[in-house]
């Protein structure tokens, strides 16, 4: 009789346990913060669209933050602190300053946040995943667009942004590497400006005035590309100065049709945003990845010839 | 038969429990499998029906929208065919009430853009590429045409995604076209909003399998997601299950587009099935627990009474005398009946055993009494002969003692019918016998008594010593040349009384001893040693009785063991 009683109690306990377990498997909604470099360029808008798509798919509570200007790394640090304060489980981050954001990222990682870096890296060992363009390779691609010309001599002007920003420096390094290998290149001049079209336009005009032999000018991100293209357009240098830019902006596309813009190296911000949130979610589920291996998002070179193919339309004009 | 089949096989209790549990488990398992199968099938069906309904609604809405646009197109054609007057105003009003129309353009027979009416953008100087109208494809436009989504490339700083509708204008004498660029946002926001299940969605594709609009277009563009459009393109309208995905396809009325729904079996069905299993398992366990209870109750009513009955039988078998019958409790009528019958049987068997024993005792007693009533006629004759001889010789005093001894012998032999007499009387009886015999044998032997005083008042069977002494005289002393000696001793040993009769006669070998112990006397007169032994055993049990110790030419010692008996009643009626 004792064994019967014991069996009975065991079965009852098992029944109750499985009954309770049924209720405890409800999925927890993960809290992810996305701190971008800025809020309103076309590049970041596309990244946010991708991030939102992933947030909807993985049922993630996503908060998107970004400073006013692309120099305000302290503002970014404050947003990171805010994410920690408000109990986020993961941070998707694009660093304005390779060094300046490091402490804040370390702090966040120590507080238990999983850190996913997109687009632009930070000097920290606590990063779990890195997603973005291989910027050195993007520099090579820009260089081949620069070199795709019949001119016998090439002088290059580069409008670059903050010296501390990792991806800008990598792009320039890749660019210079390829250009130095070509005998036609006679000079490379760089100017570093604030990340606004106006500053870039002024910088480009200054560079063109100081070095009139420049026949190719580059803007290494979206606002700088717009500024450099506007400088070419404003100075009426279409056909004399070729312009190669990064990323896609309506202004650049307009100017590509007038001939002021020769080529655009278009990154994939939508994929960065999407993958950033997707990986953040995977990390909160306990998966782990090799942070030293970049998750590469595709990069394409758009010229006037291919700009209206269906593929180009889709990558140039976000389907919002 | 001593060793029972105990331990071998299962107890009835276990068998019952096992049977009930396994039956319950088997039934539950079967019904659960059947249920889950049907449940899964019905879920499949309802998932497919659901998907079909959603897709058909979505398709209906898109068709309606396209119809609406078609009507607009007809209106436009009419107005354009009527002539130039008031056209600009008409278009302003038209575009204001239809914000989804991005631009309305007219083209001449060569495909040149004649007019472009738009509220949102102005045509850039020097359009290089016009994605809305391809002069090389005019043949396709003749019967009305709906393009795949594309970007409007006419404006400066404004690149909306549109679908272009093109129709020929019926103006006599010239060839002309009208093209409407309709914003995709209406259709896209509608399609984006459609969900099938948790993750399911739908998209539009054209007849060749190219995707017209997909809510996750960007993911497809960057290969973050794949859609097996080759497979879907060859599917007929309806629901198709491919692996864990349900594709639901419906063609639109315009014939060019198909609405495709994608829903996931795993989330729609597996989740519900898992949920069902989660609910089912506790109830299954509860049912098993209930069957355990039922098993316990059954065993309480059936197997337990039988088990205790079996135990009682075993106890009875082992020791029938001290067995106490207690009725077995239990609810089953059969068990109660069995128990009652067993009770009756126990009583009956006891009675029978008792009867058998009583009959045996009675038989012995009767036999004994008959024997006691007899006096060995030779002994009486010889004794009387001796007395008569004494009288003749004038040995009156001796004759008187002889007669007295004979009288005492008879009186004690009869003892008013009592079986047990005091040891004192038994010793008198033995002495009288010895007196008579010593006269008769002319003092060939001497005898002596060595009696422990406290033994005298205990009781013993009458005529116990006499047959032994008789045996000592006939078989021991009779043939002896020297003077014989008979010693009678009585003493206690623990709770027993021991009588010993020793002689120094010729003794007996083992064969003779056996003969004496196993045979009734051959002359059928008087009481033999075997008879004494039997009586002792009947009265007091098997550990009492006679033992004979003898060696040829050395003498014999006969020992009688019996318990200390104080009252005749103690053993009389056993």
Residues A14-42 pLDDT 10s:
666 655 554 444 457 889 999 999 998 88
Q: Is A197 an interface residue toward B (CB < 8 Å)?
A: no
Distances (CA, A) of A222 to A95, A249, A256, B55: 16, 7, 14, 41
SS3 state at A119: coil
pLDDT of residue B515: 83
Q: Which residue of A has its CA nearest to B289?
A: A8
- Give Cβ neighbours of residue A274 (< 8 Å, ≥ 6 apart): A50, A51, A53, A54, B218, B219, B224
Which among A180, A225, A231, A186 is positioned nearest to A207, based on CA atoms?
A231
Q: If contacts are CB pairs under 8 Å, which of residues 54-93 in chain A contact chain B? A: 57
Residue of B nearest to A1 (CA): B296
Helix (H) or strand (E) holding A30: strand A30-35
Q: B275 to chain A: which residues are within 8 Å by CB?
A: 22
Going from the C-alpha of A286 to that of each of A21, A24, A159, the distances in angstroms are 21, 18, 42
* Distance of residue A111 Cα from the nearest chain B Cα, in angstroms: 31
Interface check B498 vs A, CB under 8 A: no
The reply to whether residue B285 touches residue A11, judged by beta carbons under 8 angstroms, is yes
Residue B299 above 80 pLDDT?
A: no
Q: For the CA atoms of B7, B11, B17, B21, what is the dihedral angle to 10 degrees? A: 50
Say which of A7, A253, A275 has its CB closest to residue B159.
Answer: A253
Among B129, B221, B285, select the one facing A314 at the smallest CB separation: B221
Are B153 and A270 a contacting pair at CB < 8 A? no
Q: Is the predicted pLDDT of residue B276 greater than 90, yes or no?
A: no
Q: Cβ separation of B218 and A275 shorter than 8 Å? A: no
**DSSP 8-state symbol, A220:** S
Q: Could you state, in order of their start, the residue ranges of all structural domains in chain B?
A: 86-187, 319-359, 374-572
Provide the pLDDT for residue B569: 64
Identify which of B17, B131, B216 has the shortest CB distance to residue A4: B17
Yes or no, beta carbons of B278 and A22 under 8 Å apart: yes
Quick one: pLDDT band at residue A5, thresholds 50, 70, 90? low
User: Which residues make beta-bridge pairs with A202?
Assistant: none
Q: What are the chain B neighbours of A254 within 8 Å (beta carbons)?
A: 124, 156-157
A297 inside 8 A of chain B by CB: yes
Average pLDDT rounded to a whole number, residues B517-530? 67
Number of neighbouring beta carbons within 10 Å of residue A173: 12
Chain B residues whose CB is inside 8 A of the A317 CB are: 151, 159, 161
* Closest Cα in chain B, distance from residue A85 (Å): 32
Condensed to tens digits (0 to 9), the pLDDT of residues B462-483 reads 888 888 898 888 888 877 778 8
Considering only residues B173 and A272, tell me which one the structure prediction assigns the higher pLDDT. Answer: A272
E strands in B265-338: none
* Cβ distance of A7 and B150 shorter than 8 Å: no
- Does B189 contact chain A (CB < 8 Å)? no
Can you tell me the mean pLDDT for B44-68?
88
Contact B282 A16 (CB under 8 A): yes
The answer on pLDDT for B294 being more than 70 is yes
Choose the most confident range, by mean pLDDT, from A300-304, B85-89, B270-274, B300-304.
Answer: A300-304
Cβ–Cβ contact A271 with B under 8 A:
yes
Question: Which of B161, B187, B222, B270 should we substitute to test contact with A (largest number of A Cβ atoms within 10 Å)?
Answer: B222
Domains of chain A and CATH, by start: 30-133+268-297 (3.40.50.2300), 135-266 (3.40.50.2300)
Within 8 A of A132 by CB-CB distance, chain B residues are none
Lowest-confidence region among A114-123, A245-254, B6-15: B6-15
- Least CB-CB distance to A19: which of B131, B199, B282? B282
Residues 86-115 of A with CB under 8 A from B: none
Closest CA to A145 of A261, A15, A280: A261
Alpha helices in B473-546 (DSSP H): 510-518, 529-540
- Least-confidence region, from A108-112, A304-308, B305-309, B566-570: B566-570
Say if the Cβ atoms of B292 and A14 lie within 8 Å. no
- For B337-371, the pLDDT digits (tens) are 888 888 888 889 889 988 998 888 788 777 766 66
Cβ–Cβ under 8 Å, residues B375 and B406? no
Please name the member of B124, B129, B296 whose beta carbon is closest to the beta carbon of A1: B296
Residues of B in contact with A11 (CB under 8 A): 285-286, 288-289, 292
A310 vs B: CB within 8 A: yes
Report pLDDT for B184. 86
- Show Cβ contacts of residue A25 under 8 Å, excluding neighbours closer than 6 positions: none
Note the pLDDT tens digit of each residue in A45-56: 889 988 998 898
Q: With H, G, I as helix, E, B as strand and everything else as coil, classify residue B99.
A: coil
Report yes or no: B125 at the A interface, CB cutoff 8 Å. no
CB of A309 within 8 Å of any CB in chain B? no
pLDDT class of A228 with cuts at 50, 70, 90: very high
Residue A18 contacts B, CB cutoff 8 Å: yes
Nearest to B222 by CA among A57, A222, A299: A299
- What is the mean pLDDT of the segment spanning B53-71? 89
**Lowest-pLDDT range of A230-239, B151-160, B402-411, B563-572:** B563-572
Task: State the residue for tokens 């030419």.
Answer: B553
Confidence of residue B275 (pLDDT cuts 50, 70, 90): confident
Which of B10, B122, B127, B218 to probe by mutation at the A interface, max A CB count within 10 Å? B218
Of A8, A19, A268, the CB nearest to B292: A8
- CA-based end-to-end distance of chain A: 72
* Fold for the domain defined by B86-187: Beta-Lactamase (3.30.450)
Task: Tell me if chain A has a CB within 8 Å of the CB of B208.
Answer: no
For chain A, state the CA radius of gyration: 24
The C-alpha of A126 sits at a distance from chain B's nearest C-alpha, in angstroms, of 26
Residues of chain B with pLDDT > 90, as a percent, come to: 10
Report yes or no on whether pTM surpasses 0.80. Answer: no
Is pLDDT above 80 for B432?
yes
Region B80-102: mean pLDDT is 83
Contact A251 B153 (CB under 8 A): no
Given CATH 3.30.470.20, say whether it is the number of domain B374-572. Answer: no
Of B128, B157, B281, the CB nearest to A251: B157
For residue B3, the model assigns a pLDDT of 45
Over range A204-216, report the average pLDDT. Answer: 93
Confidence of residue B109 (pLDDT cuts 50, 70, 90): confident
| Contact assignment for B285 to A297 by CB distance below 8 Å | no
- Of B218, B289, B295, nearest to A50 by CB-CB distance is B218
- Provide, rounded to the nearest whole percent, the portion of chain A with pLDDT above 70: 91
What value does the mean pLDDT of chain B take?
Answer: 83
Q: Please list every residue in chain B whose beta carbon sits closer than 8 Å to the beta carbon of residue A19.
A: 282
**Rounded Cα distance, B546 and B534, in Å:** 9
The answer to whether B190 faces chain A, any CB pair under 8 Å, is no
Most confident of A192-206, B32-46, B535-549: A192-206
Question: Which residue of chain A has the CA closest to B125?
Answer: A258
Residue A294 is given by DSSP the state -
* CA separation for the pair B327, B309 (Å, rounded): 9
Mean pLDDT score, A170-190: 93
Residue A46 exposed, middle or buried by CB count within 10 Å (0-12, 13-18, 19+): buried
Contact yes or no for A47/B324 (Cβ under 8 A) = no
The distance of Cα B237 from the centroid of its chain, to the nearest Å, equals: 56
Q: Nearest chain B Cα to A253, which residue?
A: B157
pLDDT in tens, B175-233: 888 899 998 888 888 888 888 877 788 998 887 788 888 888 777 877 777 888 888 88
Would the CB atoms of A12 and B129 count as touching at under 8 Å? no
Look at A11 and B156 and tell me if their CB atoms are within 8 Å. no
Are the beta carbons of A16 and A57 closer than 8 angstroms?
no
Q: What tokens appear for B143 in the block?
A: 């019967």
Q: How many residues would you count in chain B? A: 574
Q: Which residue of B has its CA nearest to A249?
A: B157
Residues counted in chain A: 320
Instruction: Check CB contact under 8 Å for B222 and A254.
Output: no
State how far the Cα of B349 lies from the Cα of B292, in Å rounded to an integer.
Answer: 40
More confident residue, B234 or A318: B234
Paired residues of B145 in beta bridges: B166
């Amino acid at each position: 009789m004792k064994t019967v009683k014991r069996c009975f109690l065991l079965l009852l306990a098992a029944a109750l346990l499985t009954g309770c377990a049924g209720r405890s498997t409800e999925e927890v909604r993960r809290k992810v913060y996305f701190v971008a470099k800025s809020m309103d360029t076309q590049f970041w808008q596309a990244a946010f669209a991708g991030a939102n798509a992933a947030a909807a798919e993985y049922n993630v509570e996503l908060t998107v933050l970004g400073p006013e200007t692309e120099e305000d790394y302290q503002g970014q640090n404050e947003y990171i602190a805010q994410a920690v304060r408000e109990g986020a489980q993961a941070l998707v981050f694009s660093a304005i300053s390779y060094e300046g954001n490091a402490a804040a990222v370390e702090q966040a990682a120590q507080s238990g946040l999983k850190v996913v870096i997109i687009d632009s890296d930070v000097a920290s060992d606590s990063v779990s995943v890195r997603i973005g363009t291989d910027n050195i390779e993007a520099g090579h691609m820009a260089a081949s667009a620069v070199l795709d010309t019949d001119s016998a001599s090439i002088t290059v002007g580069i409008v670059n942004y903050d010296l501390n920003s990792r991806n800008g420096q990598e792009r320039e390094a890749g660019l210079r590497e390829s250009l130095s290998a070509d005998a036609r290149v006679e000079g490379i001049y760089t100017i570093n400006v604030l990340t606004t079209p106006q500053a870039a336009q002024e910088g480009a005009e200054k560079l063109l005035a100081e070095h009139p032999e420049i026949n190719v000018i580059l803007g290494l991100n979206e606002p700088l590309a717009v500024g450099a293209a506007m400088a070419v357009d404003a100075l009426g240098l279409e056909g004399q100065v070729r312009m190669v830019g990064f990323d896609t902006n309506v202004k650049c596309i307009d100017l590509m049709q007038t001939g002021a813009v020769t080529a655009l190296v278009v990154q994939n911000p939508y994929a960065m945003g999407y993958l950033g949130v997707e990986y953040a979610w995977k990390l909160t589920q306990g998966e782990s990845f090799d942070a030293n291996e970049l998750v590469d998002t595709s990069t394409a070179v758009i010229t006037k010839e291919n700009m209206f193919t269906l593929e180009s339309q889709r990558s140039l004009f976000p389907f919002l | 038969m001593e060793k029972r089949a105990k331990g071998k096989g299962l107890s009835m209790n276990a068998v019952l429990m096992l049977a009930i549990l396994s039956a319950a488990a088997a039934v539950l398992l079967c019904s659960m499998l059947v249920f889950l199968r049907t449940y899964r099938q019905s879920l499949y069906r309802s998932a497919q029906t659901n998907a079909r309904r959603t897709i058909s609604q979505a398709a209906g809405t898109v068709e309606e929208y396209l119809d609406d646009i078609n009507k607009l197109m007809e209106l436009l054609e009419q107005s354009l065919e009527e002539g130039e007057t008031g056209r600009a105003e008409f278009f302003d009003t038209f575009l204001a009430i239809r914000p989804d129309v991005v631009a309305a353009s007219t083209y001449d027979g060569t495909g040149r853009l004649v007019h472009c009416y738009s509220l949102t953008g102005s045509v850039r100087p020097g359009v290089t590429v016009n994605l809305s109208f391809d002069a090389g494809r005019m043949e396709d436009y003749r019967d009305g045409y709906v393009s795949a989504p594309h970007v409007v490339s006419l404006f400066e700083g404004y690149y909306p995604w549109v679908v272009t509708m093109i129709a020929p204008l019926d103006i006599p004498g010239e060839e002309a076209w009208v093209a409407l660029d309709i914003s995709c946002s209406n259709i896209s926001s509608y399609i984006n909003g459609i969900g099938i299940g948790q993750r399911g969605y739908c998209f539009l594709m054209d007849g060749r399998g190219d995707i017209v609009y997909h809510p996750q277009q960007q993911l497809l563009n960057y290969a973050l997601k794949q859609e097996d459009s080759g497979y879907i393109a060859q599917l007929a309208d309806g629901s198709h299950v491919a692996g864990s995905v349900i594709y639901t396809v419906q063609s639109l009325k315009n014939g060019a587009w198909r609405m495709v729904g994608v829903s996931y079996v795993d989330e729609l069905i597996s989740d519900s099935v898992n949920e069902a299993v989660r609910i089912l398992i506790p109830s299954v366990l509860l049912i098993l627990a209930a069957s355990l209870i039922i098993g316990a109750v059954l065993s309480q009513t059936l197997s337990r009474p039988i088990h205790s009955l079996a135990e009682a039988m075993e106890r009875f078998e082992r020791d029938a005398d001290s067995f106490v019958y207690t009725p077995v409790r239990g609810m089953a009528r059969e068990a109660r009946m069995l128990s009652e019958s067993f009770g009756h049987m126990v009583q009956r068997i006891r009675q029978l055993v008792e009867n058998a024993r009583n009959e045996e005792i009675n038989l012995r007693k009767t036999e004994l009494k008959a024997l006691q009533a007899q006096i060995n006629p030779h002994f009486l004759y010889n004794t009387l002969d001796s007395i008569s001889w004494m009288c003749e010789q004038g040995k009156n005093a001796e004759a008187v003692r002889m007669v007295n001894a004979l009288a005492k012998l008879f009186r004690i032999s009869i003892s008013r019918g009592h079986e047990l007499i005091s040891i004192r009387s038994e010793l008198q009886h033995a002495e009288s016998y010895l007196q008579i015999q010593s006269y008769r044998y002319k003092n060939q032997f001497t005898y002596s008594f060595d009696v422990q005083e406290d033994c005298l008042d205990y009781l013993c069977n009458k005529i116990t010593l006499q047959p032994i002494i008789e045996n000592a005289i006939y078989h021991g002393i009779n043939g002896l040349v020297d003077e014989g000696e008979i010693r009678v001793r009585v003493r206690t040993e623990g709770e027993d009384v021991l009588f010993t009769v020793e002689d120094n006669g010729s003794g007996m070998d083992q064969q003779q001893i056996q003969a004496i112990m196993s045979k009734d006397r051959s002359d059928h007169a008087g009481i033999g040693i075997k008879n004494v032994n039997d009586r002792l055993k009947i009265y007091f049990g098997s550990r009492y009785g006679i033992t004979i110790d003898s060696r040829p030419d050395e003498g014999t010692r006969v020992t009688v063991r019996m318990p200390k008996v104080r009252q005749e009643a103690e053993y009389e009626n056993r």
